[in-house]
Structure 1
Amino acid sequence: MTTATELSVEGVTLTAGAHRLVRDVSLTARPGEVVGLVGPNGSGKSSLLRAVYRVLRPDAGLVRVDGADAWRLPPRRLARTLAAVVQQSAADFDLSVRDVVAMGRTPHKRLLDGDDAEDVRLVEAALAAVDAVDFADRSFDRLSGGERQRVLIARALAQQPSLLVLDEPTNHLDVRHQLDVLGLLRRLPATVLVALHDLNLAAYHCDRLYVLRDGEVTAAGTPVDVLTPHLLAEVYGVSAEVEVHPRTGAPHVTFLPDAPPAPAAPAAPVREHAGS
């Protein structure tokens, strides 16, 4: 993979008809960071990611990739920089797993180019990275949901992006493969922007978090600064205890289903904590 890319989202607003999906959202992902998007269902996480990987054009604001307007870059050039793993992909390929992963090499090849030794090496490495070697010759359309998810992640890895955008990449995965995939993201020489539902996974694997609610950024900063009982009550409407885990050193959230949510205090202006 190439040197990690800087991503900057500047005042992005997205609408669908009369419905506002995201309003005036700004965020940064610095080269080599793993930045997490968290928030309730319908908070705008997926919509914001679609603006980043150029499916949903912003009504206002800019998405910059290493300073360039992502929406003005030639598609092939952007595909050599950015790879996306989308949520609940409806893709149904009548291809082998290995051939699906090899599709990730397309942005780096001319129209009639075949696979060379380097392509083969990168595809095999991507399969190994997601523990998919054993079913590499099976048909993609016969895989389970979790197996498909791992193959689509492998396809993105084979693309060798310097910016990787993922929407709920742990969906359908068992616990072992959730940990494997997120651990892999931390080791990549790439910048990662990832939407996650599991707050404890986000707390452990992400350098910084942006919390979305109703299409707006409610909080931003390091996991220890952002994941507080007050924020969880305000954003998710639940009571929780948050402690630093003695082994991981990351915040660990324990939800309290039988306790009433803590009363919400007046909202403060959103800002990232110093040093985050």
Structure 2
Amino acid sequence: MSATELTVDGLTLTAGAHRLVRDVSLTARPGEVVGLVGPNGSGKSSLLRAVYRVLRPDAGRVRVDGTDAWSLPVRRLARTVAAVVQESAADFDLTVREVVAMGRTPHKRLLDGDSAEDASLVAWALESVDAAGLADRSFDRLSGGERQRVLIARALAQRPSLLVLDEPTNHLDVRHQLTVLGILRRLPATVLVALHDLNLAAYYCDRLYVLCEGQVTASGPPAEVLTEGLLAEVYGVTAEVTVSPRTGAPQVSFLPGERDRPAVAVPGQSGF
């Protein structure tokens, strides 16, 4: 597994009359963990879909090591880019080990069986996400968090040089959130990841791109990007940003400011 450079130049995506992403440019250098943050509907998932070649750009380019991703043969792209997406709720009538082994498919010819190397990589991927004990379980009987870890293991088994993840910590408890993001941090690959948790993004990402209404509002190291002013502008919230004395990373504390408001009356109910 080696690292790939990702370059997005002037990307615009539309769905009918609705513009999803407008003139977005970003770079993920080899070996970096680059985070996408922003409110719901800001265009993060759409941007990622263009990177792993599900949404074709209306304008702009996605380049993988300088080559237009849309010009690459499907098999070569699959050897280079792995994706873990939010809507991966499909049921597989397979064991967990078999699902993870699907990650090896791009590296095989049509009738190739599983090799010792394949088995070793599958075992490593399962162990990495703390899912070795699930190997013989049926995938369609797992909890949401267990499924998420297995799908991340499948992407790891693919040994991509560019790993694209859309909210990979969804459904995971705190321990497994830290486990998964720690793996991404140590991989010899380039990682582009959308995250909602700003504190996790601040700690694990080298650089952040903040999206709002389909455009990049700010980009740079987390300490430069995650300011109280930006959080107020983009998220519409009051926040306090400090520096963690243990990690040195920015630490965001949200200040709701709602406690003194009168309770909302619910029609047909009393006692408010």
Give TM class, smaller chain: over 0.9
| 1:176 aligned partner | 175
Q: Distance in 2 between matches of 1:155 and 1:225?
A: 34
**Amino acid of the residue matched to residue 118 of structure 2?**
D
1:4-43 superposed matches below 5 A: 4-43=3-42
The answer to whether structure 1 residue 64 and structure 2 residue 40 are counterparts is no
Residue 259 of structure 1: CA displacement?
7.0
| 1:141 aligned partner | 140
Identical counterparts, % of pairs:
83
Residue 135 of structure 1: CA displacement?
1.1
SS of equivalent to 1:80: helix
| 1:263 aligned partner | none
Residue 223 of structure 1: CA displacement?
0.2
* 8 Å contact from structure 1 (residues 70, 78) kept in 2: yes
Over the aligned positions, Cα root-mean-square deviation in angstroms equals 0.9
* 8 Å contact from structure 1 (residues 7, 65) kept in 2: yes
| 1:264 aligned partner | none
* 8 Å contact from structure 1 (residues 13, 24) kept in 2: yes
The answer to whether structure 1 residue 229 and structure 2 residue 228 are counterparts is yes
Residue 90 of structure 1: CA displacement?
2.3
User: Considering only CA atoms, is the larger Rg found in Structure 1 or Structure 2?
Assistant: 2
State the 4+ residue runs in structure 1 displaced beyond 6 angstroms.
none
TM-score (norm 1): 0.93
**Amino acid of the residue matched to residue 112 of structure 1?**
L
Per-residue CA deviation, residues 227-252 of structure 1 (Å, 9 max, x unaligned), is 00000000000000000100000000
1:77-88 superposed matches below 5 A: 77-88=76-87
| 1:199 aligned partner | 198
What is the number of residues matched between the two proteins? 259
Per-residue CA deviation, residues 126-145 of structure 1 (Å, 9 max, x unaligned), is 00000111111000000000
TM-score (norm 2): 0.94
Per-residue CA deviation, residues 83-131 of structure 1 (Å, 9 max, x unaligned), is 0000131221000000000000000000110001000000000000001
**Amino acid of the residue matched to residue 84 of structure 1?**
A
1:110-259 superposed matches below 5 A: 110-258=109-257
| 1:266 aligned partner | none
**Amino acid of the residue matched to residue 91 of structure 2?**
D
Residue 185 of structure 1: CA displacement?
0.3
Q: Distance in 1 between matches of 2:219 and 2:74?
A: 30
**Amino acid of the residue matched to residue 47 of structure 1?**
S
Instruction: Provide structure 1 residue ranges, at least 5 long, that are not aligned to the other structure.
Output: 261-276
**Amino acid of the residue matched to residue 148 of structure 2?**
Q
**Amino acid of the residue matched to residue 29 of structure 1?**
A
SS of equivalent to 2:54: coil
| 1:53 aligned partner | 52
* 8 Å contact from structure 1 (residues 239, 259) kept in 2: no
**Amino acid of the residue matched to residue 69 of structure 1?**
D
| 1:89 aligned partner | 88
SS of equivalent to 2:245: coil
Q: Distance in 2 between matches of 1:28 and 1:176?
A: 30
* 8 Å contact from structure 1 (residues 12, 62) kept in 2: yes
